């Protein structure tokens, strides 16, 4: 199904969780993506509004991570378009409306509007926690080191790690590393946060510390697109839950409806396996 024609009134109701959603901030239109002969995204469309939390679920290989990576243009797309924070991600239109790929520097500038958190944390192992967080604000955005450090310490407190500023990633547990990664992404003051299976690499006892930070973030009005299997988080924090299957969005509903009254057979099958 596509959401191309979606207007405000078509948006799912926020049952029991009224939220003020702003204008669309991520608009995905008819995106196609193939790796060789493997068609991973088939005509995917999705509109995410400012302040909205969208959870994307699905089996591995369903295209959910690829979709997320396409939003940040970590993968190129073969068709359609993605607009995020007002930027046509990775491309510009020539006068005839054709899409022309942008150069490295221009795409880099587009990505600075969004934060991304990865399954494998990807902290910079040669830098302390503080330097991990301040690297981009100072070296790329030109913030003053003092201001960036103050902001970093504030963020570390927010993710519950106020005393880890001088530690190196190797000295932290997985859950701590992921929380630092979230702080690092937030340091760029992103308008949208993308989470790519943020808890899949964690031991069970560390999952909740990361989810708690994410839930807090959603309560503070951050726009979030989260690829995850954590249905508890979806229930608690999501405005909408999507299910991807075979490169398509096959279900899309507010959490209550998604869990209690799914329309798609795929969703029923997925829920029976995961819950």
Partner 1 sequence: MEFSWEHFFRFLFGEYMLTGVWTTLWLACVAMLLGCTLGVVVAFMKMSRYWAPRQFANLFIWVWRGTPLLVQMVIIYTVLPLFGLKLGVISSAILALSLHEAAYFAEIVRSGILSVNKGQTDASLALGMTWPQRMRYVILPQATRIIIPPLGNQFTLMIKTTSIASVISMEELFRRTQQLAQFEFRVLEAYLGAACWYLLMTTVWGEIQKRLEAHYDRPFGPLSDDDGKKPERPVTGDAAAQV
Instruction: Give me the residues that bind partner 1 (CB under 8 A), please.
Output: 72, 74, 104-105, 108-109, 111-112, 114-116, 118-128, 135-136, 139-141, 168-172, 174, 177, 181, 184-185, 188, 194, 200-201
User: Would you say 11 or 135 has its CB closer to partner 1?
Assistant: 135
| Dihedral sign computed on CA atoms, order 156, 159, 162, 168 | negative
3-state secondary structure of 32: strand
User: Would you say 127 or 271 has its CB closer to partner 1?
Assistant: 127
d(CA 125, CA 28) in angstroms, rounded, equals 34
d(CA 45, CA 227) in angstroms, rounded, equals 16
User: Would you say 15 or 124 has its CB closer to partner 1?
Assistant: 124
User: Would you say 123 or 211 has its CB closer to partner 1?
Assistant: 123
CB of 248 to partner 1, least distance (A): 25
User: Would you say 116 or 237 has its CB closer to partner 1?
Assistant: 116
CB of 216 to partner 1, least distance (A): 21
Count of residues in the chain: 275
d(CA 100, CA 236) in angstroms, rounded, equals 41
Q: Are 170 and 125 in contact (CB under 8 A)?
A: yes
CB of 72 to partner 1, least distance (A): 6
Which candidate, 242, 74, 108, 95, places its Cα nearest to that of 188? 108
* Per-residue DSSP letter, 137: I
Phi, psi of 185 (to 5 degrees): -70, -40
Q: Are 90 and 111 in contact (CB under 8 A)?
A: no
User: Would you say 116 or 234 has its CB closer to partner 1?
Assistant: 116
CB of 73 to partner 1, least distance (A): 8
d(CA 154, CA 242) in angstroms, rounded, equals 33
User: Would you say 36 or 105 has its CB closer to partner 1?
Assistant: 105
Q: Are 196 and 227 in contact (CB under 8 A)?
A: yes
Torsion of CA 145, 150, 151, 157, to 10 degrees: 140
CB of 88 to partner 1, least distance (A): 17
CB of 206 to partner 1, least distance (A): 10
Q: Are 4 and 48 in contact (CB under 8 A)?
A: no
CB of 185 to partner 1, least distance (A): 7
């Amino acid at each position: 199904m596509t959401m191309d024609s979606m207007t405000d009134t078509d948006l799912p109701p926020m049952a029991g969780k009224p939220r003020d959603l702003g204008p669309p901030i991520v608009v995905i239109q008819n995106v196609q993506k193939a790796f060789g002969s493997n068609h991973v995204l088939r005509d995917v469309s999705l509109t995410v509004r400012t302040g909205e939390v969208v959870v994307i679920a699905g089996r591995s290989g369903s295209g959910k991570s690829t979709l997320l990576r396409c939003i940040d243009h970590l993968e190129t797309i073969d068709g359609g378009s993605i607009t995020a924070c007002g930027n046509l991600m990775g491309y510009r239109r020539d006068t005839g409306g054709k899409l022309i790929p942008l150069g490295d520097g221009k795409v880099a500038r587009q990505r600075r509007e969004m934060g991304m958190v990865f399954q494998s944390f990807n902290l910079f192992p040669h830098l302390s926690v503080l330097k991990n967080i301040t690297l981009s604000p100072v070296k790329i955005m030109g913030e003053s080191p003092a201001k960036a450090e103050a902001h970093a310490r504030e963020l570390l407190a927010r993710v519950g790690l106020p005393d880890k500023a001088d530690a190196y990633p190797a000295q932290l547990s997985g859950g701590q590393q992921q929380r630092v990664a979230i702080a690092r992404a937030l340091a760029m003051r992103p308008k949208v946060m993308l989470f790519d299976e943020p808890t899949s690499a964690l031991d069970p006892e560390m999952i909740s510390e990361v989810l708690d930070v994410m839930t807090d973030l959603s309560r503070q009005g951050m726009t979030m697109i989260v690829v995850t299997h954590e249905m508890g988080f979806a229930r608690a924090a999501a405005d909408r839950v999507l299910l991807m299957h075979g490169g398509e969005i096959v279900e899309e509903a507010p959490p209550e409806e998604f869990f209690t009254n799914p329309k798609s057979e795929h969703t029923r099958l997925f829920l029976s396996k995961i819950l």
